[in-house]
Amino acid sequence: MSSLRHVGMTAIFALSSIGLPVTGAEAQTRQETLRIVSGGAINTLDSTLLNATRDSLGLSVNTYDRLVSFGTKQVNGNRVFDLYKFRGELAESVEVSSDGLKITFKLRPGVTFQDGTPVTVEDVKWSLDRTVLAKSGAASQLASGSLTKPEQFAIVDERTVTVTLEKPDQLALANLATHFARIINRKVALQHATPDDPWANEWLKDNVASSGAYIVESFKPAEQVVLKRNDAWKNGIDGKLPFFKRVLIQTVPEAGTRASLVERGDADISIDLAANDVIALQQRGKVKVVSNPQINAFTYIAFNTQKPPFDNLKLRQAIAAALPYKNMMEAAIYGRGAPLFGASWAGTPPTADFPQALPLKTDLAAAKKLMAESGVAPFKTSISYSTANAGFAEPLSALVKEALAPLGIDVEIRKLPDAQLASVATNKSFDLITETTSAMLPSTDYFFRIFFQGPSRWNLGNWTNQEIVDLAAKARFEPDKAAYDALARKMIALAASELPVIPLWQANQEAVMASSISGYTYWYHRQVDIRDLVRE
């Protein structure tokens, strides 16, 4: 197999059309062709690379299979992935032992890779070994589910593989359903391995060796990818093939252009349009919009709690009471999302889910009282955000500056290049910072392990609380749901009382598509799973 990176293309993009590279007998009808336009870019065919874009993650689920995938559920009339429900892909069945320490997978019979060779248990073992040993983002992610050593993956017979755990980690199976745990045609990959690159990392950046639903016909990094349906694929629900025979995924940087392409019918779907464009499209009524709050992401303001005066709880509470939440949400995202403020509970949260709305509301009188109680004199500070987030962060920060002035807090707004913001976040050299962040697997203990403890770049509250560390560690290995939920509620209550960060909202992911398209599902990777879609 030769590299796909430099395969010639005749696809043409213009403001008026997108043309697919098809000829004579290969041509498919418009009905069978899906055209996706994205503001992001597919930069690699290996979604486990540390620098792989989110678009690359989305491509991976369509081109590679895993042993299992997440199931789905209905939320407010829309279909979203279910973190605790699974269905087989390469696995015909999956069984978790009663003690939670062994997961047994039975492979489907007769499944082949895209080159026609059988998928074997040896391929599964090699691929899972690779996830924990190769230098990539896969190892750290799978470690969050206690998958760290190749000795955990064992071949039982020609169709059976087991995964063993030292403790019953609730995220072990979930991690195996992510794009990181893709199954690779090891014989093909090993043809391109070298002593310095035993896992064929370099070759897999630009090539696919898989059994997935779609075959990569051509790949131009950061420009476009052309896919062809794998008609030998057997791993769909009820053995069904995806509807679309051919797919073009194209990077179109300008949001307004993407909106126009979908509205005119020159493209079928885009999931990253600007909120004002989505509103205008909805008003004109020529397209379909599926809006889902991003259940595994949230926007927030973080205090550097290790830096005076933000180590003062009363000050943090004063600032939280002064913020104009509804105005910020309307100005930043046109109100399109799920608010994480305005809840009425006190003490114990109503659910064990995180993020959830906290009991935060605008009350300037209470803010002034708390400011006085804090003993903090008027001071100057700053709020930082990334240029990549300017669309929502700029109006949000302006309202923060305005709201804190009556408390005697003079806020400088710092708009930083992405790399500088990342450095500031990592070094904790900020006062206030606003970001949107996401968790691959949105369980409460996962959120608190990643975002609320330790020296992690993502612990933007710079929060140190041993009780949180202990609760999160205990919850991670708690198999009983009621006991887990009790631990989760304690963590959420602590975060609400200590306020290392102020959660603001979960912005909608707006999937804008032709009225003929249906089947869209919100997935953990926040990209389009082409296999779900049909044209009516």
Structure-block tokens of residue 234 = 């057997």
Final residue before a domain boundary, out of 202, 221, 236: 202
Considering the domain boundaries, does residue 292 fall inside one? no
Could you tell me the residue range of the domain that residue 385 belongs to?
Answer: 297-508
**504 and 529 co-located in one domain:** no
- CATH number of the domain within which 186 lies: 3.90.76.10
Q: b/e for 188-203, b at 16 or more Cβ within 10 A?
A: bbeebbeeeeebbbeb
Whether the predicted pLDDT of 398 surpasses 60: yes
Terminal C-alpha separation, the chain? 36
Cβ contact 54:47 at 8 Å = no
Whether the predicted pLDDT of 147 surpasses 60: yes
pLDDT, tens only, 275-329: 999 999 999 999 999 999 999 999 999 999 999 999 999 999 999 999 999 999 9
Helices (H), 86-200: 121-133, 137-143, 172-176, 186-190
pLDDT, tens only, 234-285: 887 777 899 999 999 999 999 999 999 999 999 999 999 989 999 999 999 9
Considering the domain boundaries, does residue 179 fall inside one? yes
Give residue 257's pLDDT: 95
**520 and 386 co-located in one domain:** no
Measured from the Cβ of residue 409, the count of other Cβ atoms closer than 10 Å reads 22
**140 and 150 co-located in one domain:** yes
Alpha-carbon distance of 99 to 91, in angstroms, equals 21
- Pairing verdict, β 160-164 and 102-107: antiparallel
Considering the domain boundaries, does residue 436 fall inside one? yes
Give residue 49's pLDDT: 86
Helix, coil or strand: residue 237: helix
Task: Domain count for the chain, please give it.
Answer: 3
Phi, psi of 509 (to 5 degrees): -95, 120
Which residues are CB-neighbours of 251 under 8 A, at least 6 positions away?
37, 38, 39, 40, 41, 42, 55, 222, 223, 224
**420 and 486 co-located in one domain:** yes
Considering the domain boundaries, does residue 207 fall inside one? no
Considering the domain boundaries, does residue 271 fall inside one? yes
Whether the predicted pLDDT of 21 surpasses 70: no
Residue type at 408 in one-letter notation:
G
**364 and 501 co-located in one domain:** yes
- CATH number of the domain within which 531 lies: 3.40.190.10
Phi, psi of 296 (to 5 degrees): -110, 25
* Order of strands, sheet of 102-107, starting from the edge strand that comes earlier in the sequence: 91-96, 102-107, 160-164, 153-157
Final residue before a domain boundary, out of 176, 202, 228: 202
**Among 397, 408, 407, 402, which residue's Cα sits nearest to residue 430?**
397
Q: Give the residue-averaged pLDDT of 102-114.
A: 96
- CATH number of the domain within which 433 lies: 3.10.105.10
pLDDT band at 50 (very low <50, low <70, confident <90, very high): confident
**218 and 187 co-located in one domain:** no
**280 and 301 co-located in one domain:** no
**309 and 270 co-located in one domain:** no
Alpha-carbon distance of 117 to 424, in angstroms, equals 49
**369 and 414 co-located in one domain:** yes
Considering the domain boundaries, does residue 142 fall inside one? yes
Considering the domain boundaries, does residue 240 fall inside one? yes
**432 and 348 co-located in one domain:** yes
Give residue 17's pLDDT: 40
**145 and 174 co-located in one domain:** yes
Alpha-carbon distance of 32 to 331, in angstroms, equals 40
Structure-block tokens of residue 350 = 């109503």
Q: Give the residue-averaged pLDDT of 192-200.
A: 95
Q: Give the residue-averaged pLDDT of 216-222.
A: 94
Q: Bridge-partner residues for 226, per DSSP?
A: 218, 248
**445 and 469 co-located in one domain:** yes
Q: Give the residue-averaged pLDDT of 143-154.
A: 96
Q: Give the residue-averaged pLDDT of 486-513.
A: 97
Q: What is the DSSP letter of 156?
A: E
Give residue 28's pLDDT: 53
Final residue before a domain boundary, out of 171, 202, 233: 202
Whether the predicted pLDDT of 16 surpasses 50: no
Measured from the Cβ of residue 490, the count of other Cβ atoms closer than 10 Å reads 18
Considering the domain boundaries, does residue 443 fall inside one? yes
